Amino acid sequence: MEKVYYFDNNATSRVAPEVAKEMEPFFNDLYGNPSSMHFFGGGNQKYLDLGRERVAKLLGAEPSEIIFTSCGTESDSTAIWSTIQAYPEKNHFITTKVEHPAVLNLAKHMEMKGYRVTYLPVDGAGQINLEDLKLALTPDTALVSIMWANNETGVVYPVEEAARIAHAKGALFHTDAVQAVGKIPINLKETKIDLLSLSGHKLHAPKGIGVLYARKGIRFAPFMLGGHQEHGRRAGTENVPYIAGLGKAAELAAQNLEKENSYVKGLRDRLETGLLKIKNSRVNGGGASRLPNTTNVSFEYIEGESILLMLSEKGICASSGSACTSGSLEPSHVLMAMSVPQTYAHGSVRFSLSVYNTQEEVDYILKELPPIIERLRAISPFADGKPLFGMEACDPHHHH
């Protein structure tokens, strides 16, 4: 395998070597079940406690408020279902048009079940307007769910203020913080946030472990029923090795927060500045406050998929902000909500960095990508002065 230039950390991140090392004993000698009465299993309880303390510390929470789950999606589902069950008298849910499918598809499912859902719009920079939230809230609103940071654009939302607004109207507040944790400082004690989701594999822990933070004292109905684990809030034998690994990853994330916002951000800015030298390119979400590691750039008149395939041939891993796979001509729902012009929306590429990236890697992309764009534009039926006959055909149904 020749060198991999990995710029897709919002999709998943490498497991930190320190994390793998922390997990190893649990695959060998320490295989006991923490719920067992005997010393061998019960002795593993202290490793669960340590993992919980480390995650709580990163979030500015109490260890008792940390519930381990299998992933970010389970945490999102639990937060939303739990609130709906805890407040059967309420029938309204508020979220945004730019959430991850883990929230959006559940919202659509709830609408089919007769629940009322409001989807807050975003402006051209991808930012929400808190006045829209104030207008949407009613005494019937059970929950407001707004992501802390967007996975496609890196735009950071004013969730702390949004949580205060929701509370003032008697609604609970959930945030999908899967992309934010470890990249920007979070201190839940100083906020009114009731529920927060995170996923291990976005912060250099393995796939298959997540957390739901549930503020002490809120009404909570478990999603997974069965044994007594996680204080009766999430049944199923605890995943000891992954909990230990996530604890270590949380500790590393706290140490790397400064580096994330200086070193990683510097690399991202260098990459972005270089990419904007390519003509007819634009940054999506550049006008809003963003995560330090993410840039989403659109190149006019070409398909993001073609760019990704050609980058992939050069060993560069990025992703497209869009799901224009062979079966669908739909650009990304996030870019649609931001009203990115059709001619740009299809040609978007997301680069997401981590502390493991280097300046050499950034410069390699800046060397390889411009000729790729040039080649694709040369064969694009839409580029430079060619008639735009087909661009409208990409959008047969209008998005309101």
Known catalytic residues are: 324
Which amino acid does the sequence have at 384?
D
User: How many CB atoms are closer than 10 A to CB 371?
Assistant: 10
* Residues 97, 146: Cα–Cα separation, whole Å: 10
* Residues 184, 181: Cα–Cα separation, whole Å: 6
Which residues fall within 8 angstroms of residue 117, CB to CB, at 6 or more apart? 92, 93, 94, 95, 107, 108, 110, 111
* Backbone phi and psi for residue 25, each to the nearest 5 degrees, phi listed first: -55, -30
Report in angstroms the alpha-carbon separations of 367 from 361, 362, 371: 10, 9, 8
Closest CA to 209 of 94, 66, 320, 317: 66
Report in angstroms the alpha-carbon separations of 185 from 20, 162, 163: 25, 17, 17
User: At which residue do the structure tokens 């760019």 appear?
Assistant: 307
Strands (E), the chain: 5-6, 66-69, 92-96, 116-120, 141-145, 172-176, 195-199, 210-214, 281-283, 294-299, 316-317, 319-320, 348-352
3-state secondary structure of 5: strand
Q: 184-216 in b/e burial notation, b at 16+ Cβ within 10 A?
A: bebebeebbbbbbbbbbbbbbbbeebbbbbbbe
Which amino acid does the sequence have at 368?
E
